[in-house]
Structure 1
Amino acid sequence: MEQSSPSSSPSRGGRTPAASRRRQRTQEILAATRAVFDERGLGDAQVEDIARAVGINRAIVYRHFSGKEELFALTLVGYLDELHDSLAAADDRAAAPADRLERLVEAFADYGLAHPAFVDCAQTLMRRTGPELLDEVSEDAALRLGRAMASCLGILTKVLVAGADAGDFHVSNPGALANLLYATGLGTLQLARVGLLVEEGASGAPQIHTIEGATAKDYLVRSAVALATAPVTAQLKG
């Protein structure tokens, strides 16, 4: 009777040793990518540096990911999973909807301020349209990214729905508003990361001012509540 070779025999969990090694290497690359992002930022992250951190060459990275965009997308999944846990921990279902919304936005801002590479990574991927991104990442990576984003937005959407049901919020499309708050939050946190505001002076010359992270956080909280309580005609419809 022919026997399978040790390298191809399935493990007790149903995965072959080769598949297990591949999965482990994929996780090592993602961990290295996250470490490089957190240390240097997205702009200075190079695939060569990520490969060197794992102890492999650049070519092996591309055996595990379809390209740089997929590597970045799956790294973003890790950030989003952490963000989800932060949002879930901050939400108090016994509190009033406005208080719940404030706490969620505060948790989002705190996470973004603590992890600027998350903001960079999320904004970089958002520069592509959906079809463009799907052309650059595998179906599995796109599904994982979509699920991670939806799980975070889902927490916010449920609070907006609860507020609308209680009559505290005037929200015609909770899902759309949740997406708008997410995108606005990323932009505001990027502004806080840069730390500069530009205004027109009396002579027409530009004037530069600074903005602190706490100020950006406060703006996000107050603007989120204002949008949720604004008349429906001033909100997104769909």
Structure 2
Amino acid sequence: MSSEPTSANAPARGGTAATRRRRREAEIISATRRLFDERGVRDAQIEDIARAVGINRAIIYRHFTGKEELFSLTLVQYLDELRVALEQAAAVTDEPRDQLVRLVEAFVDYGLAHPAFVDCAQAIMRRPGGDLLEEVSESAMYRLGQAISGCLSVLTRTITAGAESGDFHVDDPGLLANMLYASGLGTLQLGRVAMRVSEEEPGVPRISRVTAEQVRDHMVASALAVAAGAPASTGSPTRGR
């Protein structure tokens, strides 16, 4: 008789434990995100994250396979926000060229407003795929893949629509979306540094300022040129042209 209540209560206890685990994981990821935004990715240490949550660092490793997995799942938060920003930008117009302009602008605006997103995304991308798969659990990789593909799908739909309408000349919209994302992260890094180096005269370097507007205009013009099948230009684009 005593075994029946134990069996009946087991699922409830298991569900409660699972809920507590998910809540703790969310707390750790949120604390990591706050430290990223406050200090940057490089200065966010596991000890600081544990202290912010009020736990021992060992508990973090009970929930995540390591620092790479924790950082990957923190990146998911940024990517989910970015996807919403991209969807809102795409909803403004149905014209593929104008839509692409707005998508790139939204990407630039988000990246400049969240420099830790750029750092985190680049840190993950610098890892060889095989190494990352060994250090990050399958479920975490799946969540990261979902977040990245969610952003890229918005861009891919716009490029596909432009190819179908004849505005763009692209054989593989998905590949171009991936390339624009990767190259965009690099250009955003230049926007964060806000400096460019040129040669004023032979052997004499010159450092000058790069503005957010220049970064935005360059990325928009480059995306439009590549999608149209033309060499990239650094000129300022005009919507709906």
**What's the TM-score, normalizing by structure 2?**
0.91
Offset at residue 20 of structure 1 (A): 1.2
Q: Distance in 2 between matches of 1:220 and 1:94?
A: 19
Matched, 1:115 2:114: yes
Give yes or no for contact 1:66–1:137 (8 Å, CA) kept in 2.
Answer: yes
* Cα distance between partner residues in 1 of 2:112 and 2:178: 19
SS at match of 1:44: coil
Instruction: Measure, in 2, the Cα distance between the counterparts of 1:120 and 1:133.
Output: 16
After TM superposition, the runs of 4+ consecutive aligned structure 1 residues lying more than 6 A away are none
In the alignment, which residue of structure 1 is the partner of 2:239? none
CA distance in 2, matches of 1:99, 1:185: 18
Q: CA deviation at 1:15?
A: 5.2
Query: Aligned residue for 1:236?
Result: none
SS of equivalent to 1:201: strand
Give how far 1:19 is off. 1.4
Q: Distance in 2 between matches of 1:136 and 1:213?
A: 36
> Within 5 A, what are the aligned runs for 1:1-238?
1=1, 2=3, 3-4=5-6, 9-11=10-12, 16-92=15-91, 94-230=93-229
In the alignment, structure 1 segments of 5+ residues that lack a partner are 233-238
Give how far 1:30 is off.
Answer: 0.3
Amino acid at match of 1:213: A
User: 1:30·1:75 contact (CA, 8 Å) conserved in 2?
Assistant: yes
CA distance in 2, matches of 1:5, 1:195: 63
Query: Aligned to 1:172, what secondary structure does the other structure show?
Result: coil
For residue 184 of structure 1, report the CA deviation from its aligned partner: 1.1
Structure 2, gaps ≥5 residues long: 232-241
Q: How far apart, in 1, do the equivalents of 2:7 and 2:35 lie?
A: 38
**Contact 1:188/1:216, CA 8 A, preserved across alignment:** yes
Q: Distance in 2 between matches of 1:5 and 1:62?
A: 31
Q: Structure 2 CA distance, aligned partners of 1:61 and 1:18?
A: 16
Three-state SS of the structure 2 residue aligned to 1:199 is strand
Across the aligned residues of Structure 1 and Structure 2, the Cα RMSD in angstroms comes to: 1.8
Query: Which residue identity lines up with residue 183 of structure 1 in the other structure?
Result: A
Task: State the Cα distance separating 1:131 from its structure 2 match.
Answer: 1.3
> Identical aligned pairs, as a percentage?
59
TM-score by length of 1: 0.92
Pairwise CA distance, 1:200 = 1.9
Give the SS at the match of 2:61: helix
1:194 and 1:45 mapped to 2: Cα distance? 20
Compute the displacement of 1:111 (Å). Answer: 0.6
- Cα offset for 1:187? 0.5
Q: Which moved more, 1:206-215 or 1:140-149?
A: 206-215
Stretch moving more, 102-111 or 15-24: 15-24
User: What amino acid is the match of 1:4?
Assistant: T
